[in-house]
Amino acid sequence: MHDTAMEWSDLRIFLAVARGGTLGAAARELGQTQPTMGRRIRVLEQTLGLTLFQRTSEGFVLTNEGAAVLAHAERMEAEALGIARAASGQGGTLEGVLRVSSSDWFGTYVLTRAIASLGVKHPGVVVELITDARLLSLARRDADLVFRIAPFDEPDIAQRRLLQMPYAAYRADGSDALDSVVTMDTAFGGMPDVAWLRERLPDARIAFRSNSREAQARACALGLGIAVLPCPLGDATPGIERIDLGGPPPTRDVWMGYHRDLRHLPRLRAFVDEIVAIS
């Protein structure tokens, strides 16, 4: 092995390429250029005297040596992130950025109320809301606080079931049609409300699919069909009304999670208090 003096920044690039599979994906994640990323990977390989990636037409694939380095790099990353979280968690003032992640409709129709209330009380806190369907990593600080409909299985995550979200069936105002529905896309076909709507209206045609609840609500208002929506979204959408299809759709639990290292972060605690107050 060659001189092993290496930069942590090179290991961060190595991790980004290993996770993203391409220089382009890694460059977007870290805000650098592809040539820079490629050059730093070559420097790291020369420093270690190892070939870390196999270059293929579809991207970068870890070699056996690269996989071994990955395990060490992830442990180093975990320690570095732990230091950063510990430093953040000791901050005693109510100021700074708080990164919050949720689905699009939940962020728009639920979280913004808490964000507005927090902003009035603590104007030094800036909430950065990321509406993303991906399960972002709390350990890597992709987000400080995450809201989702599935419990967290990451280690060292403090979580709680925040609330039980009610759903209802909706259709366009004044419509009496029951022959078409608006529902989730096929990737989310296993969700409880999809099966419930199919059971209630087995002969109805599917007029529109989307993984966006807001798009479903808009399509419903335009008369495309009956939709099952979270009540905060459905009740706030102009042009649609609740209908009774023989009982309410299944509810869903909403879970809130954050890394235990941040449990004493004042701005996080203040925002959690606002969320609990409105839920």
Mean pLDDT of 248-271: 89
Confidence at 83, pLDDT banded by 50, 70, 90: low
Per residue in 232-254, pLDDT (tens digit) is: 999 999 999 999 999 999 999 99
pLDDT at 167: 97
pLDDT at 277 over 90: no
Residue 1: per-residue pLDDT? 45
Mean of the pLDDT values across residues 58-66? 88
Q: pLDDT tens, 2-61? A: 445 567 778 888 998 998 888 888 888 888 888 888 888 988 888 888 899 988 888 899
Upper half-sphere CA count for residue 268 (Cβ side, 13 Å): 23
The confidence band for 75, taking pLDDT boundaries of 50, 70 and 90, is confident
Pairing between strand 96-102 and 125-131?
parallel
What pLDDT, on a 0 to 100 scale, did the predictor assign at position 86? 57
pLDDT tens-digit series, residues 104-162: 999 999 999 999 999 999 999 999 998 875 556 666 667 889 999 989 887 788 899 99
- Distance of alpha carbon 162 from alpha carbon 147, whole angstroms: 9
- Which long-range contacts link 89-92 to residues 24+ away (Cβ below 8 Å)? 89/261, 89/262, 89/263, 89/264, 89/265, 90/264, 91/265, 91/266, 91/267, 92/266
pLDDT digits 0-9 by tens, 194-232: 999 999 999 999 999 999 999 999 999 999 999 999 999
Measured in Å, how far apart are the chain's first and last C-alpha atoms? 57
Q: How far apart are CA 47 and CA 56, in angstroms?
A: 22
Task: Tell me the mean pLDDT in the region 188-197.
Answer: 91
Question: Could you tell me if 271 and 100 are in contact, meaning their C-beta atoms sit under 8 angstroms apart?
Answer: yes
Is this prediction's pTM over 0.85? Answer: no
Task: Quick: pLDDT tens for 127-136.
Answer: 999 887 555 6
Helix, strand or coil for residue 106?
helix
Does residue 255 register a pLDDT over 90?
yes
Please check whether residue 257 is in contact with residue 83, taking contact to mean a CB–CB distance below 8 angstroms: no
Would the pLDDT of 82 be above 70? Answer: no
